[in-house]
Structure 1
Amino acid sequence: MDELELLKKDWKKQEGNYPRLSYDQIYNMLWKKSSSIVKWIFVISILEFLFWALITIFFADNDYWKEMERLHLKEFTIAAYIVSYGITFFFIYLFYRNYQRISATDDSSTLMKNILKTRKTVKCYIAYILISTAVTTLVYTYFAFYYHPYTVQVDDVSKYTFTFTQWAIFIGVMALFFGMLLGLIWLFYRVIYGILLKRLNRNYKELKKLEM
């Protein structure tokens, strides 16, 4: 049993000597826990950004950019990096603002509102990651097939035309692949941010009980 649960039990057992002090203790405990959780969300978002930035720097060598140019994806890749980093910076700023707001909160109703804002921001961030991944993956897949050496060098395209069944199988396999990819990404972010969001939601419910 953690310190918060002990405080809650002690608060319920009291018959009127110091109810306000106990209420403040429980509120302060929830406030500190919520502030710590939002701080971790902010820190993790920075670490995640640095990790992917290092991966990009490591793999984006001359051969990589030559391949992107051959596939006519160089301009798209540069634009995707700029947009991605810009939006990620924006979400990191929102996480920081949420942490500042919660750290400066002095009443339970405002704290509950800020907790809801933080949870909404994280959910929007995860949705952005999934949507952007789906879009960029589809674009890269299309250009990779369209400008593949075997596709470009074929003289008689009719020899390699797919039947309806073959197209259905191909589309089904690709849809399965995209579904698995997005599912793994969702699971990854669910593990990283989901635990923190559950704890934040638990604090929110405890605050609602205090207000009753």
Structure 2
Amino acid sequence: MSSKKDVTKLVRWWAMFLMGLSPFLYLVFLILTRGLGPDPGEAITRFNGLWSLIILLVCLSVTPLNRLLKWRWLAQHRRMIGLYAWFYAVLHVVSGFLLVLDVSFLLEEVVKRPYVTVGMVAFILMTALAVTSPKAMVRKLGKRWKSLHKSIYLIGVLAVIHYFWLTRADYSEPVFYSAVLTLLLGIRLYWARSKVKSANSQTASLRLS
């Protein structure tokens, strides 16, 4: 029985790993086949940014899926999912930098353009979460780790705002991802309020007894 569980766990790990890597492999394919259109640099930057946002939303959906559908196995891969979101964010930032190859200009853009500022703040926060994701850091930070990793909700909001400001014409995709984020945050807020109400009811019952 245990060996069967181990095999299932291993298969799921590799499935999640390959699913997370597949956008990168597809991007490599597009680069090699010159399928990125007239502005490859811009296409690469946008591709990586979009996949970072998509995987970030998947990461935010882990707890709701675990609680609603009992997908406990998915929660075991939360760290991998989060690291993939950061991986594509790194590629997004690096490819954006390679478009200009000028640090001073890039710093000016961060200050002058709000969408760059918001995106950079989200990236810095994501980097902090990635650096503190190993188990050793979880033990070292203790309760502070939970407080820090709650910033993933703020990162989601900043990422969507960044996407909105970056979009020039068709807003259908930013609106869609905003709706998904709103739904996920709404579920979390509902559960948090229910937990507070339950705690207050228990306190009131204890006082009456």
TM over 0.5: no
Greater relative contact order (CA < 8 Å, ≥ 6 in sequence)? 1
The structure that has the greater radius of gyration is 1
TM-score, normalised with respect to structure 1: 0.33
TM-score, normalised with respect to structure 2: 0.34
